[in-house]
Amino acid sequence: MTGIFEYAAAPETTKPVLREEYGLFVGGRWLRPKSGRYFDTINPANEQHLARVAYADDEDVDRAVRAARKAYEKYWRTMRPVDRAKYIFRIARAITERSRELAVLETLDGGKPIKESRDFDIPTSAAHFFYHAGWADKLEWAMRAGAEPRPLGVAGQIVPWNFPLLMAAWKLAPALACGNTVVLKPAETTPLTALALAQIVEEADLPPGVVNVIPGDGATGAALVRHDGVDKIAFTGSTEVGKAIARELAGTKTRLTLELGGKAAHLVFADAPMDQAVEGIVNGIYFNQGHVCCAGSRLLVEERIHDEIVVRLTDRLQTLRLGDPLDKNTDIGAINSRAQLEKIHELVRSGIDQGAVLVQQSCSLPERGYYFPASFFTNVQQSHRIAREEIFGPVLSILTFRTPDEAIEKANNTPYGLSAGIWTDKGSKNMYLAQHMRAGVVWCNTFNQFDPSSPFGGYRESGFGREGGVHGLYEYLAH
């Protein structure tokens, strides 16, 4: 059925500068990998090949760590902080200047809607560099009185595929501001914006080796973690891998921060502003196809408004536009990879098998590419897998509670503890609940708000350490 006011295709037309082949960015130069191996990165929206990317093996990791060490000793640790700041400002400005191109690249490589990479990923990435550039020569003010800010040395940083450039920015900016040098390993499915960032670092004329970018897979990351020349590992990714890293580093001198999975409780009380809450729920679970570690994936609603919320959410689902991520009107883009799509399918099947009721947006999926419609489950019980495991897709589980205390108990009944959301128009109830959420970030009457000045991080199996704000600086300073 065609309506009277259908949105015509509105594709973003900026062409990113895409090389056919990317090497490793080590010691300020683009190198062929010692491994001799290259891997393909594809566009998950249509499964088309984008570029060939060098694969870093143990030997390449070693080269990168040595380059970072050399740059640390030779340039970065002794550079005047105000000069470090200038370099970081340059990176921030370059990201801003090339924002459209970076947005297109992020969307091509990862499948997220262009409106999100354009309005969220890229500007927030630039904001992190701007914020931390400001800190570089003011670190004394972050310390206890009399304490001297000292960098750690070489930081090995491993970032995930859901916010490739933004996560790289979260890691690089504070490390550099505090005087550390970096070996960054982007995710296997989304290396391109990290490599574009390496180009920016090159053009910003940072001393060689201060930032090194080595694409690869889990084995590359493991080699970086094992390398004894690394003083600090910062990892964002799955809880499973995070645990393996923690085991590997137990008893060593290497410092560690982990930002892992989540199964956030999103609480909606009967006195909440309903339409606002529905928008918050939609933003909480369907932003970036639900590939968000702090996604509000466990919706807990007061029992007496359950049916009303379901009606409103069902209607709202139909207005979400799923399709070509490069179209400026797309709300739901492509799932990042075939493997992730299969994982979502598997968990959704388990939900149906265990008796939950699936509601989905009715739309046809593009023939090629990896897509999953915006979905939610009703009749979910605490014991269901879909109420306990991280789906990392556009799938919400709806449960109910009767009293605030029951809400707290159910919200905290998870091994994770990254984020939580609360919707109620009563301020005192909001404050009471926020105090009782075992989660690193609690959003009240809003969701998914991020700012470089605000620390982010988890409890329990969602990891430890904070990124952003003053607290994020401590993770890259000796104490």
Partner 1 sequence: MLEARAGALSKRSIKTSAKIAGIRLAISCMDLTTLEGKDSQGRIRSLCAKAICPAPQYPELPSVAAVCVYPNLVRFAKDALAGTGVKVASVATSFPSGLSSLEVRLADTKAAIEAGADEIDMVIDRGAFLAGNYQGVHDEIVAVKRVCGDIHLKVILETGELGSYDNVRHAGDLALEAGADFIKTSTGKVGTNATFPVAVAMCEAIRDYARRTGRRAGLKVAGGVRTTKQALTYLVIVKETLGEGWLDPSLFRIGASSLLDDLLMQYEKELTGHYAGPDYFPKD
Residues that bind partner 1 (CB under 8 A): 3-10, 115, 119, 273, 275-276, 279-280, 283, 311, 319, 327-329, 445-446
Contacts for 271 with CB less than 8 Å, ≥ 6 apart: 424, 425, 426, 429
Sheet with 29-31, edge to edge strand ranges: 29-31, 24-26, 211-213, 181-185, 154-158, 232-236, 255-259, 463-464
* Inter-CA distances, 144 with 147, 149, 174, Å: 6, 10, 18
In the bound state with partner 1, the residue whose beta carbon lies nearer, of 174 and 333, is: 333
- Structure-token pair, residue 269: 């009380």
Instruction: Give yes or no: 294 in active site.
Output: no
In the bound state with partner 1, the residue whose beta carbon lies nearer, of 112 and 438, is: 112
- Look at residues 324, 310, 326, 233 and name the one whose alpha carbon lies nearest to residue 277: 310
Which residue among 293, 390, 461, 467 is the active-site one? 293
In the bound state with partner 1, the residue whose beta carbon lies nearer, of 435 and 449, is: 449
Q: Count the alpha carbons within 13 Å of 242 in the hemisphere toward its beta carbon.
A: 23
Contact between 410 and 382 (Cβ < 8 Å): yes
In the bound state with partner 1, the residue whose beta carbon lies nearer, of 2 and 383, is: 2
> Residue 400 CB, nearest distance to partner 1 (Å)?
22
- Structure-token pair, residue 225: 């973690």
> Residue 279 CB, nearest distance to partner 1 (Å)?
5
Q: At what angle do helices 306-318 and 274-286 cross, to 10 degrees?
A: 60
Which element (helix H / strand E) includes 71? helix 58-71
Q: What angle do CA 423, 313, 365 make, to 5 degrees?
A: 130
Instruction: Give yes or no: 259 in active site.
Output: yes
> Residue 304 CB, nearest distance to partner 1 (Å)?
17
In the bound state with partner 1, the residue whose beta carbon lies nearer, of 5 and 141, is: 5
Contact between 26 and 214 (Cβ < 8 Å): yes
Which residue among 116, 188, 259, 467 is the active-site one? 259
Contacts for 78 with CB less than 8 Å, ≥ 6 apart: none
In the bound state with partner 1, the residue whose beta carbon lies nearer, of 199 and 446, is: 446
> Residue 371 CB, nearest distance to partner 1 (Å)?
21
Task: Provide the pairing of β-strand 265-268 with 419-423.
Answer: parallel
Q: What angle do CA 395, 239, 343 make, to 5 degrees?
A: 40
Beta bridge partners of 26: 29
Instruction: Kindly tell me the number of DSSP H helices and DSSP E strands found in the chain.
Output: 16, 18
- Look at residues 68, 180, 194, 75 and name the one whose alpha carbon lies nearest to residue 125: 194
In the bound state with partner 1, the residue whose beta carbon lies nearer, of 6 and 367, is: 6
Catalytic residue set: 259, 293
